[in-house]
């Protein structure tokens, strides 16, 4: 069978030693970003030279990793403290409320609230040559689903956080489970040593914080406006849990009564977020220790005696470590 290479689809093979057209934007702005206090990776330096021999494919080298979403997103090191952060390009003409909404949710009196899961915005950079582009500086995050749940308790922890804030749009998680960070273009590998896999802990050992991002379709209303005109995002939270958790993992069927209420076609019959939180809390009180520690493999996954023994050992280890039944931040 012919390999599915770019040539198979009539495309030119990706030249890792050359920046894509989208990546050239970042190279052109590298010096300006450095002056603003942010250092891009070596690939985007004006004097970048390949770190691998020209006769080698190069994919295993750090600076051979092209950006996945170069048109809008890049990663960078903040020079003031060495923190690894994300840069995201926004066009206010397309999303007029996105920046203001995100910034308003990052006010000190709101970020100190543990129930606020909106992604923090560290800085807003205005491009000197383009009035319709700004760059948001945010923490480096990754998809909430990229590390699978191992126990019911970890799913409970996830549900708790997404029920705490009704501003659900897209969900990401922080790097709590990754002590040595990861490479943003290939998240299986370490950021500082691309040839090594990124070390990570489980959701139980180092519980992540989940963040909500993307306020592009959001609108801002004053306190006197009692009837917003925009249509609601239908049943997003319920559908997210149903499709990405209950339908994918075993042992979350106890969530069906609540989720069924949340995904009704008639929005008037759907519970309010306060009712959801109360219903969820009541359900959790009925879950025993064995249920919370139950392994939640994929629905198409089969288990054996060895797996059961390993899971039992892991459960005992967590208990001896004094980790509570449901993870806490």
Kindly report the pTM of this predicted structure: 0.79
Residue 9's pLDDT band, with cuts at 50, 70 and 90, is very low
231-253 residues labelled b (16+ CB within 10 A) or e (exposed): eeeebbbbebbbeebbebbbbbe
Highest mean pLDDT (candidates 165-179, 260-274, 296-310): 260-274
More confident residue, 8 or 78: 78
How many C-alpha atoms does 15 have within 13 Å on its Cβ side?
A: 9
Cβ atoms of residues 151 and 294 within 8 Å = yes
How many C-alpha atoms does 318 have within 13 Å on its Cβ side?
A: 25
**What are φ and ψ of residue 85, in 5° steps?**
-130, 175
Highest mean pLDDT (candidates 6-10, 152-156, 211-215): 152-156
CATH 2.102.10.10 applies to domain 19-139 = no
Cβ atoms of residues 327 and 210 within 8 Å = no
pLDDT in tens, 41-59: 999 999 998 887 766 666 7
Number of neighbours of residue 285 by Cβ within 10 angstroms: 7
Domain boundaries, the chain: 19-139, 143-320
Q: Which two tokens stand for residue 76?
A: 């960078």
Number of neighbours of residue 211 by Cβ within 10 angstroms: 21
Q: What is the DSSP letter of 8?
A: G
The H-assigned helical ranges of 53-137 are 98-104, 108-111
């Amino acid at each position: 069978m012919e390999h599915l290479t770019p040539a198979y689809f009539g495309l030119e093979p990706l030249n890792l030693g050359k920046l894509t057209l989208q990546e050239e934007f970042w190279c052109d702005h590298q010096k300006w970003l450095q002056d603003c206090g942010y250092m891009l990776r070596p690939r985007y330096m004006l004097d970048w030279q390949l770190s691998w021999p020209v006769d080698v494919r190069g994919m295993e080298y750090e600076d051979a990793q092209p950006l996945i979403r170069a048109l809008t997103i890049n990663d960078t090191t903040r020079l003031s403290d060495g923190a690894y952060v994300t840069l995201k390009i926004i066009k206010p003409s397309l999303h007029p409320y996105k920046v203001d909404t995100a910034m308003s949710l990052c006010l000190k009196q709101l970020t100190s609230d543990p129930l606020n899961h909106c992604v923090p915005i560290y800085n807003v950079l205005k491009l000197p040559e383009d009035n319709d582009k700004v760059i948001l500086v945010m923490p480096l995050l990754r998809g909430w689903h990229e590390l699978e749940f191992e126990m019911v308790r970890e799913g409970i922890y996830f549900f708790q956080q997404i029920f705490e804030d009704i501003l659900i749009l897209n969900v990401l998680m922080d790097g709590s489970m990754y002590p040595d960070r990861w490479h943003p273009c290939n998240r299986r590998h370490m950021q500082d040593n691309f040839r090594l896999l990124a070390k990570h802990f489980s959701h139980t050992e180092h519980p992540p914080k989940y963040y909500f991002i993307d306020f592009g379709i959001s609108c801002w209303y004053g306190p006197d406006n009692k009837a917003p005109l925009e249509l609601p995002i239908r049943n997003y939270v319920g559908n997210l849990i149903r499709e990405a958790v209950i339908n994918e993992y075993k042992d979350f069927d106890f969530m069906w009564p609540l989720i069924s209420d949340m995904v009704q076609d008639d929005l008037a019959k759907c519970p309010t977020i306060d009712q959801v939180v109360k219903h969820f809390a009541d359900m959790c009180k009925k879950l025993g220790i064995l249920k919370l520690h139950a392994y939640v493999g994929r629905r198409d996954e089969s288990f054996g005696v060895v797996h059961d023994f390993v899971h039992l050992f892991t459960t005992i280890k967590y208990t001896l470590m004094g980790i509570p039944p449901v993870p806490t931040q």
